Chains A and B, each alone.
Chain A
Amino acid sequence: MVKRESPLGPALRPDLHGRSDGGSGVTLSEVTPTFMAEAAAWPGGKKILAAAIGDVTGLALPASPNAGALGAGAAAFSIGPERFFVAGSEGFAARLAAALPLETGTVTDLSHGRTAIRIAGPRAEWVLSKLFAIDFSADAFAVAEGRATAHHDITAQIQRTGATQFDIFVFRSLARSFWRILREASAEVGYEVLSGEG
């Protein structure tokens, strides 16, 4: 099978861009999963939708706004009313489609359409606050929750995947520019580029 190409291209090189004092406040990596999709229900169907996604992924998804869940090899979060972003492995595609018949909703494959970039480390909230006008503090943005937001022309769907870790899903065509912007914003605190863990 042909290998998928990263949109970051030559811009993605494992590297250390430390501060002059040697520290690095964040690590950056590309973590695009093999399967990504938008799953949406008809108005009023969020609970059924959450349950259907749960059946396929094993995730317990609250039906509340901004809700999300993380599990082994799967992640999902709300990106709009009756709309979830689902990430995981290739096998999900057919099973999700089966779990969401037309009466319930639809699934749209975005496995190639989005690129996931992970920022982790003690200064991750600080760096992201430069780019997005949302509250990244743990009080306001709990682990597993998601946010749909934008940095000017770049729309981003963000999930908090750890106490100091966020996965940012951006349009593939804009990923290289976003990667550059994120590195520039991270330079102040020092950053290390990790090879992707996929």
Chain B
Amino acid sequence: MLIPCPHCGTREMSEFSYQGDATRTRPDPASADMKAWYDYLYNRPNPAGPHREYWQHTGGCRTHLLLTRDTITHEILSVAFARAGLNAAGGRP
């Protein structure tokens, strides 16, 4: 699988680390809502098809990328820096 890093260009998957499901949101740090924390930490959908997920380019620029990847075909439907501010700053779209 190849991943098109907005900074480094297309690289082999071996340069990246999977960093998990990108659809979950972290509860407020002070929240005591255990269900929200469990959902955030443990409950994962496992869709067959497009999936939003984080990959870190550990063997390259080290940024986290937000990918939409088809889990059936490995096709990468979209990619951007996870940190929104970096996208506005002129990474490759």
Interface residues of A (CB under 8 A from B): 42-46, 63-66, 78-83, 133-134, 147-150, 155
Which range holds the interface residue count of chain B?
A: 20 to 34
Distance in angstroms between the alpha carbons of A64 and B57 in the assembled complex: 18
Cβ B63 vs Cβ A80 within 8 A:
yes
Kindly list chain A residues whose C-beta atoms are within 8 Å of the C-beta of B61.
Answer: 79-81, 83, 148
Kindly list chain A residues whose C-beta atoms are within 8 Å of the C-beta of B85.
Answer: 42-44
Cβ B11 vs Cβ A82 within 8 A:
no
Cβ A63 vs Cβ B8 within 8 A:
no
Instruction: Report which of A82, A83, A150 forms a contact with B59, defined as CB distance below 8 A.
Output: A150
Q: 10 tightest CB-CB pairs across the interface, nearest first?
A: A43-B85, A150-B59, A80-B61, A44-B89, A81-B86, A65-B7, A148-B60, A133-B12, A148-B61, A81-B7
Is B44 interfacial (CB 8 A cutoff)?
no
Kindly list chain A residues whose C-beta atoms are within 8 Å of the C-beta of B8.
Answer: 65-66, 147-149
Is B74 interfacial (CB 8 A cutoff)?
no
CB of A151 to closest CB in B, whole Å: 9
Given the known inter-chain contacts A43-B85, A44-B85, A133-B12, please indicate yes or no for A80 contacting B6, CB distance below 8 A.
no
Kindly list chain A residues whose C-beta atoms are within 8 Å of the C-beta of B57.
Answer: 148
Interface residues of B (CB under 8 A from A): 6-9, 11-12, 14-15, 57-63, 81, 83, 85-86, 88-92
Cβ B6 vs Cβ A65 within 8 A:
yes
Distance in angstroms between the alpha carbons of A150 and B12 in the assembled complex: 11
Kindly list chain A residues whose C-beta atoms are within 8 Å of the C-beta of B86.
Answer: 43, 81-82
Kindly list chain B residues whose C-beta atoms are within 8 Å of the C-beta of A80.
Answer: 7, 60-63
